[in-house]
Chain A
């Protein structure tokens, strides 16, 4: 295998893809250094899966190019397939077959000998804490176990570059933490990883670098810290238990913040960036809210989260995590509640 060991593991330039009228990707650039994790963060429909499918040779781009480990994903697709692992948005396992059978078949399709496929399956089942379930049909696995088996299947061929498309979407919080641990250990082993997520905390937790995409465009890139500094200082946040008073609260703190406040009508959470004026702003806010007679809970200053970054960049919030765990996937926070803050 000849290989270009100097360049990045993944290089994407000017990538576009349209499905009829829908412009899923409108010119994406990425560079992922070897052994690092890139978090591709964006809401539903941002174009994450489309990008992953192009990088894993499943879809041809309209324009631009994508290089994985020095190989062009269109012209050298077969070579790319030998270097990558893909764990897609849903668990792509054969539910009627056992955990071990699933992995053995993948091994055979990677042209391992029967014995080798077997050994690799046993090894991966142990690594992913699935040994006890190895002989059971995968349909009896929990959601978390199915995702782990799917991830194990993507590692059978010992990929140099791993693509994880929303690895924790739909998992309960505990399985999600378990998945994070597994991904961290893989990354510690030096596998270059591109993971997409709608969860801001997930990108913060796992990724070295983050790109934020929205409507098929990269709207920001950097480390979690760099992105947070974009918000410019601290965030003042509080909850209004009486939802009918939210607009009063927003009006009261509007002049205190640097940007416009953002209110979530469902949860009653109001937040506003206050720059470097931390404690002064806190005192002013208490007074202003007291004056209009709005009761609040948990008024506090905090460091900006990636949520705030997303809001600042796009003018709308990313997928709401609580909405997701309540099974209302694909729903965004009503953007009419969202104050625009393009600057």
Chain B
């Protein structure tokens, strides 16, 4: 019974705040490690998260790109890459929603919540792992972009900021995905629902084509939605150009999403059954 004794000593009845916080961090890391391990074991996840954005880069660069005219004398690939990177970060969150819905259905979340681990760790570990996964994917896509002619032409600092913004954007979508995954709790429905709102939001934005090329009624939507603000900001950071207005609107939207969906995701997790 040595293990049992060690166990009790490690987690006394009412551990102090410091001990509890330490366990919360350790448990979060354990869950993070588990989630990343699962990611590397499933080829389908790798295809969905890495190959798909790479295909998008190649398709838009070589197939559609010739027909899309962007203002100025920049190559289309410079216009395209910030858009693709924003989309990559957003689409990476499908994995978040699907994984949580699966874990909920299979009873994995029940099992974890019946254990004496930090309750926050399941959600926190999921978000940390998925953010890490997102970063890897974004960096791979940047590499592919470089191979097909894209260049950060605004300096290294803004380039790093662009990647940071892509991650913060992705994390905000991650919270929405976590909420929908836990609230809907069914893998396929969650996936379908994700497509229904995420596809229009990314395609009816400035991600792939200049908004001025869209019909008027569509412009009204595309010009005033958060994905456009974020991608315009990313584009300005990557290749230069006016940034002010888009930056503040992006920050406002992202803050709004965190404030609304952070608590909603936590609540959905607490209620999950």
Q: With A79-B13, A97-B41 as given contacts, are A106 and B115 in contact (CB-CB < 8 Å)?
A: yes
User: Closest residue of chain A to B42, judged by CB?
Assistant: A96
B116 lies within 8 A of A78 (CB)? yes
What distance in Å separates the Cβ of B261 from its nearest Cβ neighbour in chain A? 24
For residue A220, CB closer than 8 A to chain B, the reply is no
- How far apart sit A283 and B259, CA to CA, in the bound complex (Å)? 79
B37 lies within 8 A of A53 (CB)? no
| Interface-lining segment among A109-117, A125-133, A191-199, A266-274 | A109-117
B116 lies within 8 A of A110 (CB)? yes
Chain A 224-241: CB-based contact to B (< 8 A → 1; otherwise 0): 000000000000000000
Q: With A79-B13, A158-B1 as given contacts, are A111 and B110 in contact (CB-CB < 8 Å)?
A: no
Please indicate the chain A residues that have their CB under 8 angstroms from the CB of B106 in the complex.
90-93
Please indicate the chain B residues that have their CB under 8 angstroms from the CB of A110 in the complex.
7, 115-117
Interface size on A, residues (CB 8 A): 38
Please indicate the chain A residues that have their CB under 8 angstroms from the CB of B6 in the complex.
112-113, 116
| Interface-lining segment among A55-63, A250-258, A285-293 | A55-63
| Interface-lining segment among A81-89, A172-180, A206-214, A313-321 | A81-89
- How far apart sit A84 and B113, CA to CA, in the bound complex (Å)? 12
What distance in Å separates the Cβ of A264 from its nearest Cβ neighbour in chain B? 33
- How far apart sit A113 and B10, CA to CA, in the bound complex (Å)? 10
- How far apart sit A109 and B118, CA to CA, in the bound complex (Å)? 9
Q: With A1-B8, A89-B107, A92-B110 as given contacts, are A158 and B3 in contact (CB-CB < 8 Å)?
A: yes
Please indicate the chain B residues that have their CB under 8 angstroms from the CB of A92 in the complex.
106-108, 110-111
What distance in Å separates the Cβ of B178 from its nearest Cβ neighbour in chain A? 18
B13 lies within 8 A of A1 (CB)? yes
Mostly helix, strand, loop or mixed at chain A's interface?
Answer: loop
Please indicate the chain B residues that have their CB under 8 angstroms from the CB of A56 in the complex.
110, 114
Please indicate the chain A residues that have their CB under 8 angstroms from the CB of B4 in the complex.
157-158
Could you tell me which residues of chain B, from 1 to 35, have a CB within 8 Å of some CB in chain A? 1, 3-4, 6-8, 10-11, 13, 23, 26-27, 30-31, 34
- How far apart sit A307 and B206, CA to CA, in the bound complex (Å)? 67
For residue B273, CB closer than 8 A to chain A, the reply is yes
Please indicate the chain A residues that have their CB under 8 angstroms from the CB of B121 in the complex.
109
For residue A137, CB closer than 8 A to chain B, the reply is yes
Picked from A53, A57, A88, A158, the residue with its CB within 8 Å of the CB of B7 is A158
B13 lies within 8 A of A120 (CB)? no
Which residues of A line the B interface, CB within 8 A?
1, 53, 56-59, 78-79, 81-82, 84, 86, 88-94, 96-97, 101, 105-106, 108-113, 116, 119-120, 137, 153-154, 157-158
28 A-B pairs whose Cβ atoms sit less than 8 Å apart in the complex: A1-B8, A1-B13, A57-B114, A79-B13, A81-B115, A82-B7, A86-B111, A88-B111, A92-B107, A93-B106, A94-B34, A94-B38, A94-B108, A96-B37, A96-B38, A97-B41, A108-B30, A109-B115, A109-B117, A110-B115, A111-B116, A112-B6, A116-B6, A120-B3, A137-B41, A157-B4, A157-B7, A157-B116
